[in-house]
Amino acid sequence: MVYSLTWLPDVLEAAGLKVAECTGWRTRGRGDVGTIRGVICHHTAGAQQGVMPSLNTLINGRAATAQTKPLTGLLAQLGLARDGTYFVVAAGRANHAGAGRWQGIESGNTSFIGIEAENTGINEPWTEVQLDAYCRGVAAILKHIGASENMVCGHKEFALPQGRKVDPTLDMDTFREKVGQILRGKAQLRPSIPSSDSSGRATLRRGAKGELVRQVQFTIGITKDGYFGPNTEATVREFQRHHALVPDGIVGPKTWSELLKISATPTAQSKTAPAVIEGKFKPDQACIDLIKKYESCKLTAYPDPGSGGEPWTIGWGSTGPDINKETKWTQEECDQRFDSDLIHYGNQVVALLGSAETSAAQFGALTSFAYNAGLHALEESTLLRKHKAGNFEGAAEEFARWIYGSGKKLPGLIRRREEEASLYRSGKIE
């Protein structure tokens, strides 16, 4: 079922904000919302590193630990990353409010949109770009529903009894004042990224398609499918970090300028997109067998189980703009695409690992994980962070957290993660 808040990305994009739609978000929710009256602001209390490390938790919740109670997903409709990107998580109702009241309204989950902004909540300063996006996003939503700035509150203000919640770590009176200024057209806003550079090259972001996207993909050394999806965005972020740019995953004028320098220097491409290293960092047969066991091979395209439509998938789990519900491939075409995709994923996992000590088995397990969950998921995961820190057993335990689909534990994912963890543990650092 498609839920009611399908207008969210359009409203946010119209306000000049960066938006990334999560797979299956239109049909995700714990039932539908009612009439939306306002917005409740939260912070994630998540990990210190990464752009949006709490994204999986927002969708699927988390298990209990010695220090925390279990949380049942879905935890918000929107996640706000540290770089100002809005992740659209769901169009339905979320478990974000709990018992409370604001402006006489007690039906928090039904009547308010929840925004979880990435912040540890422990003395972490709010960056200018994230706070600006927070205010602008809230203002855009309130304008859409015809409400004033008085209809945004912090979770700490809504929750009862008073003191039950402390998020977000913002002065909400100041926050509301800024939102009100935006609504009345009196605020000084951060300049938006121009729609093109001085030569007319369009600014590209997630969802873009076409020849310019292929040009970018060629320059950063990934598969040229012409679709600016999560994998392209993750690689663009890495490119931007290497070139002292804001790693927002958007190809605007400044990023175009650096890309064109790379394009003009034939030998420079290898610096930003290393080839798969033969031997140690090459997906081996154990990795290939694991992926093929759980992906299986389909010669006719099938829809995403979460959305019931895009992204359409064929072969050994291949997706892209060239694949739709009419697509049919031969076995040879499926195998060729799998070989190409595996090289692509291997390249990107190499880039994410950097100089971290990694065995062939660990590399194979991480590549299988990325092939299934996505490169962006690996990039922002505690799994990768623990691996790069040398906490290999802690990393192995993280595989078991990624077993949910649409908020439910999936037996197939449970088995796959167990095998990936087993493969990961089988490797020893020489």
Domains in the chain, number: 3
Which one has a higher pLDDT value, 229 or 307? 229
Is 201 inside any structural domain?
A: no
Question: Based on the domain organization, do 136 and 258 belong to the same domain?
Answer: no
Query: What pTM, to 2 d.p., does this model score?
Result: 0.56
Q: What is the CATH number of the domain that holds 248?
A: 1.10.101
Is 196 inside any structural domain?
A: no
Question: Based on the domain organization, do 92 and 236 belong to the same domain?
Answer: no
Q: Helix crossing, 285-295 with 360-373: angle to 10°?
A: 20
Please, what is the average pLDDT of the chain? 86
pLDDT digits (tens, 9 = 90+) for 247-304: 778 899 999 998 887 655 433 333 333 333 344 467 889 999 999 999 889 999 988 6
In the chain, pLDDT over 70 holds for what percent of residues?
Answer: 89
Which whole number is the average pLDDT over 211-234?
81
Is 360 inside any structural domain?
A: yes
CA distance 65 to 247: 32
CA distance 218 to 336: 19
Question: Based on the domain organization, do 257 and 386 belong to the same domain?
Answer: no
Is 319 inside any structural domain?
A: yes
* Cβ-based neighbours of 44, under 8 Å, separated by 6 or more: 54, 57, 58, 79, 116, 117, 118, 119, 121
Question: Based on the domain organization, do 227 and 121 belong to the same domain?
Answer: no
- Catalytic residue check, 124: no
Is 289 inside any structural domain?
A: yes
pLDDT digits (tens, 9 = 90+) for 345-402: 888 888 888 888 899 899 999 999 988 887 777 887 899 999 999 999 999 999 999 9
Which whole number is the average pLDDT over 43-50?
87
User: 116, 295, 380, 398: which one is catalytic?
Assistant: 295
Which whole number is the average pLDDT over 310-339?
82
Cis omega before residue 311 (within 30°)? yes
* End-of-domain residue from the set 272, 298, 313: 272
Q: What is the CATH number of the domain that holds 307?
A: 1.10.530.40
pLDDT digits (tens, 9 = 90+) for 153-208: 999 999 999 999 999 999 999 999 999 999 999 887 666 778 888 888 889 987 78
Question: Based on the domain organization, do 354 and 256 belong to the same domain?
Answer: no
Q: What is the CATH number of the domain that holds 57?
A: 3.40.80.10
Question: Based on the domain organization, do 73 and 119 belong to the same domain?
Answer: yes
**137 phi, psi to nearest 5 deg:** -65, -45
* End-of-domain residue from the set 183, 200, 228: 183
CA distance 83 to 52: 9
Question: Based on the domain organization, do 37 and 77 belong to the same domain?
Answer: yes
**Helix, strand, coil shares of the chain as percentages rounded to 5?**
45, 15, 45
Question: Based on the domain organization, do 24 and 110 belong to the same domain?
Answer: yes
Question: Based on the domain organization, do 268 and 362 belong to the same domain?
Answer: no
Rg (the chain; Cα; Å): 22
Strand partners, 40: 114, 153
Q: Which region among 121-135, 269-283, 287-301, 323-337 has the lowest average model confidence (pLDDT)?
A: 269-283
Is 249 inside any structural domain?
A: yes
Is 204 inside any structural domain?
A: no
Is 398 inside any structural domain?
A: yes
Which alpha helices (H) appear in 53-117, and where do they start and end?
A: 55-60, 108-111
Domain with 329, as residue range(s), is 285-426
Question: Based on the domain organization, do 255 and 300 belong to the same domain?
Answer: no
Question: Based on the domain organization, do 173 and 233 belong to the same domain?
Answer: no
* End-of-domain residue from the set 227, 249, 272: 272
Question: Based on the domain organization, do 294 and 340 belong to the same domain?
Answer: yes
